[in-house]
A and B are shown apart, each in its own frame.
Chain A
Amino acid sequence: MRSLRIATLILVAAATPASAATQTSATTDRVARAASGMARLPAGSYRPLYAPGGASRVRVAGFALDREPVTRGEYLAFVARHPEWQRGRVRAVFADARYLAGWRDGLDAGDADALRQPVTEVSWFAARAYCASLGKRLPTVDEWEYAAAASERKADASADPSFRARLLALYGAMRGRSPGTARGFANAYGVRGMHGVVWEWTLDFNSVVLDDDSRATGSGADARDRHLYCASSSIGATDPADYPAFLRYAVRAGLGARSTTSTVGFRCAADVPVS
């Protein structure tokens, strides 16, 4: 118990900025340090489930991505530095009532095992604030999906039937459970746990427009007719057989910005200088 508390203090101390005067250079340094531990993903393209403007592949610029989801221990250090994000203090507009509900207390995220687990029960606003505090940001849907298309060996295994079957099995095993200490597989980019550990927040999780006014899939009577059918959301899909992608988009579609659940966590991304 005591060693835990000491570990927490060290975490907090390590993360406390030195002074306001050196803030700017400290921030730059911190970004450089943070990015150095991140995986670098080269520019490329991927096939989105819902293609904007009918393009079958979307270009993604190079970026950096956390190698693993943010843990409870890391998130604890954040709320210690930013009390406005502690349970009981967070503004209601930023998180619903289940925010960090599984923690013992505002500054007690649980035992050593718990501290190593991915943090969940965090809202989109909270995840964004965490990343911003480190000079990072949330990945976009495009960036996340691009990184998630990789298997251990292939950069884009998203069309591979055996990879798809494996992802479905991983998603099925989640079954609404809180994440354990399982870390998932590391993909070809060195990014771990993209599948079957936690669902993850993205910066523009609310950018998928499946109903209402969708110019991409026509408008007026034509669009309205389409909406009369139950599975109409699959009609505009680039690959209706990509079930794992449907699952991920369905999860995103069910979330609001304040939502906190025991299965949704996040990782951060960062821009990288174009070399």
Chain B
Amino acid sequence: MMSAAARRAIVWRSLFLLLVLGALVTAAGCTRREPAPATAARTSAAADTESFSVYELPGEWRDQSGAPRSLASLRGAPVLLALVYTHCSATCPLAVAELKRVAAIDRRARLVLVSLDPERDDPARLARYANELGLDPARWTLLTGSDAEVRDLAATLGVRFRRVTAEDLAHSNLVTILDSGGRIVGQASGRVDDAVIAGLR
């Protein structure tokens, strides 16, 4: 049988653990959802603000025409980039719609969609997808690479993803804004801030 003192000790220990856990969950999850610090918190957890270029990542990708492309070939203009997959019906169309919206405001920006599902998204599939959505190949680049290349890019951008079923992936719905040298100037979960778009010019 447990003594009263032992029982009290267990209760106090449990309370302490709950406090610690509460603080952690708040730190890990909750602060990221508040509007103002959201960008900052995500930026530090994902792609920090130090100067580095995403285009330093090695690897050979293929675009929707089947041509080999390096990320460095995107140099020269601001880029809005999202990781999506063409069989995705929930949030990916929202990300594409957001890129379209920004494309209409800023005529200089290039729009890049990178597939999280390289097995099914071959160049032909990407070309069909671009055609269906009316994505002008002069401005839109759709890329597919190896699993390792996708993982490296996603990890660099702070995009989290995991295959849930054979058909579906769970993933962060994140639009990344790169300057003409490939440095991250902003990230948005949903709508890209007007100030960021203005800053691209």
Contacts A256-B47, A258-B52 known; A212 to B171 CB distance under 8 Å?
yes
Q: Contact between B32 and A211 (Cβ–Cβ < 8 Å)?
A: yes
Contacting residue for A212 out of B21, B91, B163, CB 8 A: B91
How far apart sit A98 and B27, CA to CA, in the bound complex (Å)?
22
Bound Cα distance A207, B24 (Å): 19
On whether the beta carbons of A216 and B52 are closer than 8 Å, the reply is no
CA distance A262 to B168 in the complex (A): 36
Is B199 in the interface zone, CB < 8 Å from A?
Answer: no
B90 within 8 A of A: yes
Q: What 0/1 pattern do residues 147 to 182 of B give for CB contact below 8 A with A?
A: 000011011101111111100111111100000000
Q: Are B25 and A234 within 8 A (Cβ)?
A: yes
Flag if B52 contacts A208 (CB, 8 Å).
no
Chain B residues with Cβ below 8 Å from A216 are 164, 170
B124 in the interface (beta carbon within 8 A): no
Nearest A residue to B52 via CB reads: A92
B30 at the interface (CB under 8 A from A): yes
Q: Any chain B CB within 8 A of the CB of A246?
A: yes
A173 at the interface (CB under 8 A from B): no
The answer, yes or no, to whether A13 is at the interface (CB within 8 Å) is no
Query: Using Cβ atoms and an 8 Å threshold, which residues of chain A touch B54?
Result: 93
**Which of A68-76, A113-121, A179-187, A224-232 sits within the interface?**
A224-232
* Interface-facing stretch out of A20-28, A143-151, A247-255: A247-255
Question: Does any Cβ of B come within 8 Å of A97's Cβ?
Answer: yes
Q: Which residues of B contact A258 (CB under 8 A)?
A: 47-48, 50, 52, 156
Tell whether, in the assembled complex, residue A93 and residue B160 are in contact, meaning their CB atoms are under 8 Å apart. no
**Provided the pairs A91-B56, A92-B52, A220-B90 are in contact, do residues A212 and B172 lie with their beta carbons within 8 angstroms?**
yes
Given the known interface contacts A208-B160, A227-B33, A243-B20, the answer about A215 and B90 at a Cβ–Cβ threshold of 8 Å is yes
Which of chain A's residues have a CB closer than 8 A to the CB of B32? 211
Task: Check B13 against A165 for contact (C-beta < 8 Å).
Answer: yes
Contact with B along A178-210 (1 / 0, CB 8 A): 000000000000000000000000001111111
For the complex, give the distance between the alpha carbons of A52 and B160 in Å: 14
Asked if residues B52 and A168 are in contact (CB atoms below 8 Å), the reply is: no
* B131 CB within 8 Å of chain A: no
Q: Is the CB of B171 within 8 A of A257?
A: no
Given contacts A215-B168, A256-B45, contact A209 B21 (CB under 8 A): no
Given known A-B contacts A92-B50, A213-B171, A206 and B25 have beta carbons under 8 A apart: no
The A-contacting residues of B in range 70-117, CB under 8 angstroms, are 90-91
Closest to A249 in B: B28
CB-CB nearest in chain A for B53: A93
Query: Can you list 16 A-B pairs with a CB-CB distance of less than 8 A?
Result: A52-B162, A92-B50, A92-B51, A92-B53, A92-B56, A207-B160, A207-B162, A209-B172, A212-B171, A213-B172, A231-B30, A234-B25, A246-B24, A256-B156, A257-B156, A258-B48
Interface of A toward B, CB cutoff 8 Å: 52-53, 91-94, 96-97, 124-125, 165, 168, 172, 204-216, 219-220, 227, 230-234, 243, 246-247, 249-250, 253-259
